[in-house]
A and B are shown apart, each in its own frame.
Chain A
Amino acid sequence: MTENLKFRNPEMAQNIAAKIKGLAPKAGKTKICHVCGTHEWTITHYGLRSLLPEDVEVIAGPGCPVCIVPAAEIDEAVQLAQMGIVVTCFGDVLRVPGSKMSLLEAKAAGADVRIVYAVSDAVEMAKHEPQKQFVFFAVGFETTAPSTAVEALGNPPKNLSFLVSHRLIPPAMELLLGVGDLQIDGFIAPGHVSAIIGLKPYELFPRVYRMPTVVAGFEPIDVLMAIYMIVKQQSEGTAKLENEYPRVVKPEGNPKALEMMNKAFTVTGGNWRGIGRLPDSALQLRESLTDYDARLKYGVHVEQGKDILLGCECHLVIIGKIKPDQCPMFLKACTPEKPVGACMVSSEGTCRVWAKNVAIQA
């Protein structure tokens, strides 16, 4: 869409940056937190932080759904693969370290692990190879969960089941507000998660926590505009929920998607790598779909895994406590080619985004 190019207009960007600079003295020190790897990509790739005044800071929260899958759940996928089941997953998931190995290492050792681009690919594979057992490792936030729901509810073939590791974003946002020394002043909410869930789940942030919250799109102008809107609220002492992305995000979200998610899943407590257990933050297949629940079907459950390797600081990066370049391993022991932690593996991981988009001083 040519409209997208208008959302990358450099003149407009400079204009918004000037407005932010103008508001900054009245707003005071403003720390804005986003929770989406794609937002970090836009911010880093377009160098948006260099357009902001010193007092306006943007940090990255746990916006990487692959990074926060606990090692225990990677271990479950590896176990299934080692049992001779064909494990299908999105590309990023392949190299995420488990307690002993990643799915890629399991594949190298002979397991049948296949990358798919859509859940429907796994369904097609299972239909075409009825003699094999298939599992789809369902990772992702609310943007991705509806597609898993579509397939789980669509009478999938009996030789397919789902290893569900979906997580929900608003509980992670709430967690960040409880991290005392983080001192967040406002949230940029993820535009495509919001396309599904709408605006309601964020209402508690301005209402209960007095936190300016703006739902933003992913073009550089979208993000700059959202920053401007938050700084403006700060300067006025208000706390509102605003939608910068009305061309995609409706207040009610996507009712069809929400209905299917509700039909397919229940909400339960979930473990987040590097964070721990968050109540009401994970999805689990409903009782009516237990035949398709891989954990129940194959009796696979790993209670505790090794989430963070020695020296890795992903647990601090994902809650925005440190920046990637503050991790001693960043671009030394831990690189995109040889990642140590999950943050460097996933294309949505803060460390990988920085490694691939920030110029390295020789």
Chain B
Amino acid sequence: MCLAIPAKVMNIDGSKANVDFGQGVLREVNVTLVDAKVGDYVLVHAGYAIQVIEEKEALETLSLWNSILEATPE
């Protein structure tokens, strides 16, 4: 099951955090596996945050791809 959904960390209490999946859908997830801060986006899989999503990386990836695609055709 690779299905994992990004969510924003709203508050943390020990190993549990309340995260926002968008449109105010808040769920409690376990954050033992990540070093997340409030405001971070995390990837949630079956109730556990498995990685912090780097928003900066996401934007850099998109701009990198755009430059690849704009480059001289093969």
A192 to B3, alpha carbons, bound, how many Å? 8
- Which parts of A307-331 form the interface with B (CB within 8 Å)? none
Partner of B43, one of A38, A39, A119, A195: A195
Q: How many Å from the CB of B29 to the closest CB on chain A? A: 8
A235 to B74, alpha carbons, bound, how many Å? 10
- B2 contacts which chain A residues (CB < 8 A)? 36-39, 63, 141, 143, 190-193, 218, 348
A192 to B48, alpha carbons, bound, how many Å? 13
- B54 contacts which chain A residues (CB < 8 A)? 246-248
- Mostly, the A contact residues are helix
Partner of A196, one of B50, B53, B57: B50
Q: Is B13 located at the chain interface by the 8 A CB criterion?
A: no
* The stretch of A44-52, A106-114, A252-260, A275-283 that contacts the partner chain: A252-260
B-binding residues in A (CB < 8 A): 1, 3-4, 6-7, 12, 15-16, 19, 22-23, 26, 36-39, 63, 65-66, 90, 92, 117-121, 140-141, 143-144, 146-147, 150, 190-193, 195-196, 218, 221, 225, 235, 246-250, 254, 256-257, 260, 347-348
- Residue pairs across A and B with Cβ atoms less than 8 A apart, 16 shown, are A1-B53, A12-B66, A37-B2, A90-B46, A119-B46, A141-B2, A144-B1, A146-B48, A147-B30, A150-B32, A195-B50, A218-B2, A225-B65, A246-B54, A246-B57, A348-B1
Q: Give 12 A-B pairs besides A143-B4, A147-B30, A190-B2 with Cβ atoms closer than 8 angstroms.
A: A16-B69, A90-B46, A117-B47, A120-B30, A144-B1, A147-B48, A150-B30, A246-B61, A247-B61, A254-B33, A260-B33, A348-B3
